[in-house]
Structure 1
Amino acid sequence: MILVVPLLIVIVTSFGQESAISFPIKGFTFDWYKNVFQQPDFVEGLKMSSIVAILASFLALLVGTPIVYVLTRFDIHHKDWFQTIFLSPALIPEIVIGFALYQALVISLQLPLFISLIVGHFLLCLPYVVRLITAGMMEFDESIEEAAWMVGYDKLTAFFKVVIPNIKQSVVAAFILSFITSFNNIPISLFLNGPDLNMLPTSILNYLENNYDPTVSAVSVILMIITALMMIIVEKYLGLNKLT
């Protein structure tokens, strides 16, 4: 309830007619929502945030799924160490990760900001992929995969035709939660953006430096709606109770 009340206030203030955010509001208008899409930084930020979130989430799945398969199916020495390593980005403050990546990738290696941003968000998404795919693999009956081997499938074919379809709920949930995490991220994006590369959260912060009108509330409501839709999809495919 404590968290819901501020969100409700943000939603209400997004419809106010006054030129500054105020509560309670005076009048009712949708003009601030129109203004969101008239701001080039918001439109470009929305596109860039979506592109980075999709690429980082897909890359995290591409890397994380085989890692989880190996860790859950093979007897590897110090398996717990590897799991800790792959989950470690979730244990380190994001602002520290952003600063470290800025120093290493942008300053030292002089990589383009876009590639550095993808790397940063990939590290942000990987723990979610590892955790959710691990949950899916633990619930998957190994005998089904063994039966596929017995009927002539090699291990690679069995992985794609048997294992992946049986853990698809975890795969979908991992992608969506990774997307949400990347899309709404601020600390890493702050260090790895630039004049020609703005993410939506950083565009909102930049807008707030010179403006305090309900446009910020409107764009925040749009972000809430996007996140809520994603969570509804997660609930449909996996169930929120299984995420814990």
Structure 2
Amino acid sequence: MKRKNYFLLFMVVLVYFFIFAPLILIALTSFTTESYISFPPVGFSLKWYENVFSNQTFIDAFQLSFLISTAATVIALLVGIPGAYALSRYNFKGKKLIKDLFFSPNMVPQVVCGFALFTFIIVRLRLSVRVALLVGLAISVVTYAFRIVGASIESLDYAIEEAGMSLGASRLTVFFKIVLPNISSGIVSAFLLAFINAFNNVPLTIFLSGPGVTTLPVAMMSYIEYNYDPTVSALSVLLMIMSFAIMLVTEKLVKVGK
């Protein structure tokens, strides 16, 4: 039994090592004084972080990614919340098919989704790149709204809704005044997780980006094609800090740990 415990402990340590070792290396290389990425780092400097904030391409790409990811997440929630409620509270023909349809973006590779959306929205419908990017990201994260919000609704006792309707409230009133306040933690969780995934989406945004419309992940990939300095390492550290801060907010506000 002890040997099995030691083996499991070794495997856990090994997994965490492969997860965190690259992140630690990136963080360390972002402080080097060398003009190229090297390990171990030489000296200590913050000039690469200054480079990030002085690079207008990164600033514009960050603003675009933030705005489009936020809008896409809001659209996904506007679709996902009522949809998750209908799937949780009603039984109707084709319910399983609809569930599978909304979960399908996670089952299909993002590269395939990106190419399909590019072909349909940009080539066939001739809509703008920004619209295509917005629609594509909304589709890619709508599953978080369905899954997380749906789980919150299913854990909510239906007797509370019945009590509200028995007192004369309409189903719409019950939804807005009883259901939504009680699933607010699930909504916040879905929003934050969907936003992170939309912001960091690379395969889909590569297909749906265009001239003057470049998201931050695509801008980072373009930068390292011609530059091998630690600027991208510094930017990666800032993005890790942002993601960690978002998850910390989720933990505090939503009580995810419980």
Separation in 2 of the partners of 1:237 and 1:103?
A: 41
Tell me what 1:107 maps to: 123
Which one-letter code corresponds to 1:102 in the other structure?
Answer: F
- Cα deviation, 1:153-204, whole Å, max 9, x if unaligned, reads 1111111111000000000000000000000010111011112111000000
Report the counterpart of residue 124 of structure 1 in structure 2. 140
Query: Could you tell me how far 1:152 is from its partner in structure 2?
Result: 2.1
After the TM superposition, which of the residue ranges 227-236 and 54-63 deviates more from structure 2? 227-236
Q: Distance in 2 between matches of 1:125 and 1:160?
A: 23
CA contact (8 A) 1:173 1:237 kept: no
Q: State whether structure 2 residue 28 is matched by structure 1 residue 12.
A: yes
Structure 2 unaligned residues grouped into runs of 5+: 1-15
Is 2:180 the partner of 1:172?
no
Q: Which has the larger radius of gyration?
A: 2
How has the CA–CA distance of structure 1 residues 239 and 84 changed in structure 2, closer, same or farther, with 3 Å as cutoff?
farther
Structure 1 contact 32–215 (Cα < 8 Å) conserved? yes
1:237 shift after superposition? 3.5
Structure 2 residue aligned with 1:69, among 85, 98, 101?
A: 85
The corresponding residue for 1:160 is: 176
- Flag structure 1 segments of 5+ consecutive residues without an equivalent: none
For 1:239 and 1:23, the matched residues in 2 are separated by 39
Which residue pairs with 2:111 in the alignment? 95
Does structure 1 residue 150 correspond to structure 2 residue 171?
no
- Matched residue type, 1:178: A
Task: Using the TM superposition, name which of 69-78 and 35-44 deviates more.
Answer: 69-78
Report if aligned partners of 1:9, 1:23 keep a CA contact under 8 Å in 2. yes
How many angstroms apart in 1 are the aligned matches of 2:241 and 2:35? 24
CA distance in 1, matches of 2:211, 2:238: 24
Once the two structures are TM-superposed, the CA of residue 78 in structure 1 deviates from its matched residue by 3.0
Offset, 1:241 = 5.7
1:205 aligns with 2:221: yes
1:75 CA drift (Å): 1.3
Structure 1 range deviating more: 73-82 or 187-196: 73-82
Q: TM-score, normalised by structure 1?
A: 0.97
Superposition CA RMSD, Å: 1.1
1:231, CA displacement in angstroms?
1.2
For residue 230 of structure 2, what is the aligned residue in structure 1? 214
Provide the rounded CA distance (Å) in 2 between the counterparts of 1:76 and 1:16: 61
Q: Paired residue for 1:138?
A: 154
Corresponding letter in the other structure for 1:157: T
Alpha-carbon distance between aligned partners in 2 of 1:145 and 1:50, rounded to the nearest angstrom: 37
Q: For residue 40 of structure 1, what is the amino acid of its counterpart?
A: Q
Question: Which 4+ stretches in 1 moved above 6 angstroms?
Answer: none
For 2:7, the equivalent position in structure 1 comes to none
Post-superposition offset of 1:240: 4.6
